[in-house]
Amino acid sequence: MKRFRYMKAVSVREAIGIFAAEPGAALMAGGTNLVDLMKYDVSTPTVVVDINGLPLHDITEQPDGGLRLGALVSNADVAYDPRITERYPLLSSAILAGASGQLRNMATVGGNLLQRTRCSYFYDVQVPCNKREPGSGCPAKTGLNRGHAILGASPLCIATHPSDMCVALSALDATILVEGPRGVRSIPFSEFHRLPGESPERDTTLEPGEIILAVDLPLLPPSMGYSYLKIRDRLSYAFALVSVAVLIKIDDRIIQQAHLSLGSVAHKAWRDKDAETLLVGAAPVRAVFKRIADRLLDSAIAQEQNGFKIELAHRATVRCLEQAAAGTPQSQANKRIC
Ligand SMILES: Cc1cc2nc3c(=O)[nH]c(=O)nc-3n(C[C@H](O)[C@H](O)[C@H](O)COP(=O)(O)OP(=O)(O)OC[C@H]3O[C@@H](n4cnc5c(N)ncnc54)[C@H](O)[C@@H]3O)c2cc1C
């Protein structure tokens, strides 16, 4: 680990001031990803700005009936808050599918959004990686790529975004509230993370010096079915190979509304709103769900080792839609897939 200075910010303005003025600064929330990256010399900040003293620790009601999650609320506090378990059980389920109890106690809303990929080449400073060192190359293309992207990848990068929470936030149409040197702005979740394209080193559309203040959850229509299905090599403490978040509203056996997001298949949670509109007006039956899965994955491209993820994502999509439609969401306590 390289030497760095440590500072504790006491106000949002102070944090933004330091962050914007010093290009080598890194903000630290729970530290569960940043400190690992520093230990591996993947991240070498000149100054670490501890933001845990900022007033961003609350979950608050919004005038429109939604909820605002402060950037520093822990993943555990979000997952177990009664307002979340009652009104946004999809989010609670997705968070509880991730990491471990100890990690969820430390990890924060803002940190979860900005956690880096789990591509092993990104973490190994001895090898090239376009995300870590632009222009150096992508050994994953011809190397170990079993867990890598099947959608939206570029010739420069096939990394995936590993978060569970973000897949639910994508399906929920959350909004990210950020503040930077030029003021406060809201970013729709679908526009927050980027596809790699020509600049895989950039994970998000955040501007220099911007920090995350909160995530806003919109008011949902009543009685939406939901499920978060995470498929991984072990049933706990493992990142997803594929995950699916579904919200679905069904009246009189007809789908009125459906939100569907795939995780760990691309550089960002993957949503196709055109595919979702094909569900509206249809019956909630397997044949319809299979057609949607076909559509979602028709542009999927496999690398040498991850072709199985296309079939896995197809099956997980159909299964997750069935669970949500039947009102039998995937349990994160009893992880049998039923
Ligand atoms: C062993 C292990 C297993 C894991 N398994 C899973 C899993 O199964 N599913 C899953 O989703 N995640 C998993 N994680 C990742 C974990 O969820 C993240 O490490 C965590 O959410 C990061 O949050 P943090 O508050 O600790 O962020 P930090 O490590 O403090 O920060 C991460 C990044 O976010 C930036 N940042 C933090 N807060 C802000 C802010 N408010 N504004 C701007 N920038 C900010 C930091 O500068 C840094 O770049 C795992 C992690 C570990 C170590």
CA-proximal residue: ligand 1, atom 11 (nearest): 163
Domains and CATH numbers, the chain: 1-55 (3.30.43.10), 226-326 (3.30.390.50)
Average pLDDT, whole number, for the chain?
97
Residue of 1 and 116 predicted with greater confidence: 116
CA distances from 243 to 7, 68, 70, 86, 156 (A): 37, 25, 25, 22, 24
Is residue 130 scored above 90 in pLDDT? yes
Task: Count the neighbouring beta carbons within 10 Å of the beta carbon of residue 4.
Answer: 16
Q: Say what the pLDDT of residue 186 is.
A: 98
Ligand 1 neighbourhood includes 71 CB (under 6 angstroms): yes
pLDDT tens-digit map of 217-234 = 999 999 999 999 999 998
Distance 50 CA to ligand 1 centre (A): 14
Mean pLDDT of 178-189: 97
Distance 35 CA to ligand 1 centre (A): 10
Strand segments, DSSP code E, in the chain are 5-8, 25-28, 47-50, 59-61, 67-70, 175-180, 183-188, 211-217, 225-231, 242-251, 254-263, 270-271
Q: Identify which of 4, 18, 27, 106 to mutate to test ligand 1's pocket (most ligand atoms within 8 A of the CB).
A: 27
Mean pLDDT of 268-274: 97
Ligand 1 neighbourhood includes 31 CB (under 6 angstroms): yes
Ligand 1 neighbourhood includes 160 CB (under 6 angstroms): no
Distance 239 CA to ligand 1 centre (A): 13
Ligand 1 neighbourhood includes 108 CB (under 6 angstroms): yes
Mean pLDDT of 239-268: 98
pLDDT tens-digit map of 70-79 = 999 999 999 9
| Predicted TM-score (pTM) of this structure | 0.98
Q: Identify which of 91, 103, 163, 202 to mutate to test ligand 1's pocket (most ligand atoms within 8 A of the CB).
A: 103
Q: Say what the pLDDT of residue 333 is.
A: 85
Residue 134 burial class via C-beta count within 10 angstroms: exposed 0-12, middle 13-18, buried 19 and up:
middle
CA-proximal residue: ligand 1, atom 34 (nearest): 111
Is residue 338 scored above 80 in pLDDT? no
Ligand 1 neighbourhood includes 103 CB (under 6 angstroms): yes
Atom of ligand 1 nearest to the CA of 35: 29
Is residue 309 scored above 80 in pLDDT? yes
Distance 109 CA to ligand 1 centre (A): 8
Quickly state the pLDDT bin for 337 (edges 50, 70, 90).
Answer: low
Distance 253 CA to ligand 1 centre (A): 40
Q: Identify which of 4, 6, 22, 33 to mutate to test ligand 1's pocket (most ligand atoms within 8 A of the CB).
A: 33
Distance 315 CA to ligand 1 centre (A): 29
Contacts 24+ apart (CB under 8 A), 201-208: 201/130, 201/131, 201/132, 201/134, 203/114, 203/116, 203/117, 203/161, 203/267, 204/113, 204/114, 206/178, 206/180, 207/180, 207/182, 208/20, 208/23, 208/180
Ligand 1 neighbourhood includes 114 CB (under 6 angstroms): yes
Q: Say what the pLDDT of residue 20 is.
A: 87
pLDDT tens-digit map of 2-42 = 999 999 999 999 999 999 899 899 999 999 999 999 999 99
CA-proximal residue: ligand 1, atom 5 (nearest): 99
Share of the chain above pLDDT 70, in %: 99
pLDDT tens-digit map of 193-219 = 999 999 999 999 999 999 999 999 999
Distance CA(57)–CA(77), nearest Å, equals 10
Mean pLDDT of 90-105: 97
